[in-house]
Structure 1
Amino acid sequence: MRSIIFFGQTGKFTWRMLATVLGGQSICILLGALVARGVAASGDAGARGTAYLVVGFGLGALCVVAAGTLRRPWGVTLGWVVHALTLLSALVVPMMLVVGLFFLALWITCLVKGTQIDGEMARRAAAEADPAADRVDG
């Protein structure tokens, strides 16, 4: 589990995968914000519906910002914060718990597999640069 990081830079392939996860998550969050507004508007709390919509759109925008900052060391930390806030949004729309857990599983998978792929790509690049390093004298 050494490849699960909370702060620091990732490889090129890893941050691309993580950015894709956050991009998909932003779409689901925006749709969840519309659901929260619709549910609140159908009840007596009409003013709360607008607040849910604004906060949901803000969280969706934060997903996009986090996807854009993944090249920086604190970008991964911002991604973790977005996932925590997505799980927290389940207090308003309970199905957001399913969405949050799904994207959290994708996030962790991309961190683990992306790190492995980046390591393999670095190993292959080093082998191409020095073909004699792969030979075993015997």
Structure 2
Amino acid sequence: MSPREPRARRQRGALESLGAVVLGFESIIVFLGGLVVYGLKVLPFGIEPWWGIVGGVVMAVAMVAVAGLLRHRKAVWVGWALQVLLLLGGFLVPALAVVALIFGGMWAYATIKGAALDRQNARRAASPDLSNGE
């Protein structure tokens, strides 16, 4: 029996790497934000406070899932939708709007600059610079 060959890792781009880091850290903060919504009991009348925890967990899991799917273009748009949804949470707890603005800015940087870096790296790979005489 021959030992199994390790599978080669897929090359990840800058957008995918930066976006996954932003969403990963944001998922922790969003989970904690759900605990804040529960603790402050700020949900509208008739909605049980524990739904704040459920909302925080669902958002955190969604962010982790999207972080894993960033190789697909649609996942970037879903990430933007999650940023908007978090911003809407600012109506319940204004601090969530601050979190949404901070992480939304980081998400914008990760997606815009990451895509630019990926395009630049693709151009370099397609036509290597041989100006040093190699």
Secondary structure (helix, strand or coil) at the match of 1:95 reads helix
**Matches of 2:115 and 2:46 in 1, distance apart?**
46
- Richer in helix (by share): 1
**Matches of 2:37 and 2:46 in 1, distance apart?**
11
Secondary structure (helix, strand or coil) at the match of 2:72 reads coil
- Which residue number corresponds to residue 38 of structure 1? 39
Identify which of structures 1 and 2 has the higher relative contact order when contacts are C-alpha pairs closer than 8 Å and 6+ apart: 1
Please tell me whether residue 99 in structure 1 is matched to residue 84 in structure 2: no
1:3-57 C-alpha deviation (Å, 9 max, x unpaired): xxxxxxxx7111111111111110110111111111119xxx7962201111111
Shift of 1:124: 2.5
**Partner AA of 1:49 in structure 2:** P
**Matches of 1:102 and 1:72 in 2, distance apart?**
24
- Which residue number corresponds to residue 118 of structure 2? 118
Q: Residues 25-64 of structure 1: matches in 2 within 5 Å? A: 25-40=26-41, 48-64=48-64
Secondary structure (helix, strand or coil) at the match of 1:49 reads coil
Shift of 1:73: 2.4
Specify every segment of 5 or more residues in structure 1 that has no aligned partner in the other structure, as ranges: 1-10
Cα contact 1:19–1:67 (8 A) shared by 2 = yes
**Partner AA of 2:38 in structure 1:** R
1:66-117 C-alpha deviation (Å, 9 max, x unpaired): 1111111211111011111110111221100000000111111112211222
Specify every segment of 5 or more residues in structure 2 that has no aligned partner in the other structure, as ranges: 1-11
- Which residue number corresponds to residue 12 of structure 1? 13
Please tell me whether residue 67 in structure 1 is matched to residue 67 in structure 2: yes
Give TM-score scaled by structure 1 length: 0.76
Cα contact 1:33–1:52 (8 A) shared by 2 = yes
**Matches of 2:115 and 2:47 in 1, distance apart?**
45
Cα contact 1:40–1:46 (8 A) shared by 2 = no
Aligned residues: 119
